[in-house]
Structure 1
Amino acid sequence: MICWVLYDIKNDRSRSKIAKVCLQTGLYRVQYSVFLGKIEKNDRDTLQLQIEELMDESTDSVYIFPMSKDELRDTKLMGQAFDKKMITDELKSLFL
């Protein structure tokens, strides 16, 4: 499944660690606090647990949104958006 991870983390060190975990999971950074990529359900659950350990639930927020490949293909990108081809079946990439 395709998955978005978005966050607002107050602590710099925690934010850096969460970004590192997202990258190690194979997600692609599309903005400073936004990641996207193909991830299996078990890996998504593991990622969620790792993030929960690093974040402060009283001040931070993290969103993990699943998305189908069809929904990603229908997504409209404007301005300096990421290259959607890196996530879809159209090109081989880290995620497929």
Structure 2
Amino acid sequence: MIIWVMYDIKKDKARSKIAKICKQSGLYRVQYSVFLGQLSANSKDSLWIQIEELIDEETDSVYIFPMSKNELQDTILLGQAFDKDMVTDEVKALFF
């Protein structure tokens, strides 16, 4: 399944660790606090558990959205939807 991970994390150390976990899970950074990629259901659950251990539930926000390929292809991107320096060909391929 295709996964979006978006977050607003107050502490730098936790934010850096979460970004590293997202990358290690095979997700691609499309903006500073937004990752996108394909994960199995088990990998998504593992990611969720790892992130949950790092956040402060009183101050931080994390969104993990599963999405089908068809839903992703129906997504409307406006303006500078992605940071062009971060988006890879693998991410672009998900939209086509």
TM range (shorter): 0.7 to 0.9
1:65 alignment partner in structure 2: 65
Task: Give the Cα–Cα distance (whole angstroms) in 2 for the partners of residues 14 and 38 of structure 1.
Answer: 23
Shift of 1:76: 1.3
Shift of 1:72: 0.5
Are positions 1:6 and 2:35 aligned together?
no
1:54 alignment partner in structure 2: 54
Name the aligned partner's letter for residue 92 of structure 2.
Answer: K
Q: CA RMSD in A?
A: 1.4
Q: Percent identity?
A: 67
Task: Give the Cα–Cα distance (whole angstroms) in 2 for the partners of residues 33 and 85 of structure 1.
Answer: 18
Moved more, 78-87 or 40-49: 78-87
1:86 alignment partner in structure 2: 93
Unaligned runs of 5+ in 2: none
TM-score by length of 1: 0.85
Unaligned runs of 5+ in 1: 91-96
2:42 alignment partner in structure 1: 42
Q: Map 1:17-36; keep pairs closer than 5 Å.
A: 17-36=17-36
Task: Give the Cα–Cα distance (whole angstroms) in 1 for the partners of residues 4 and 42 of structure 2.
Answer: 15
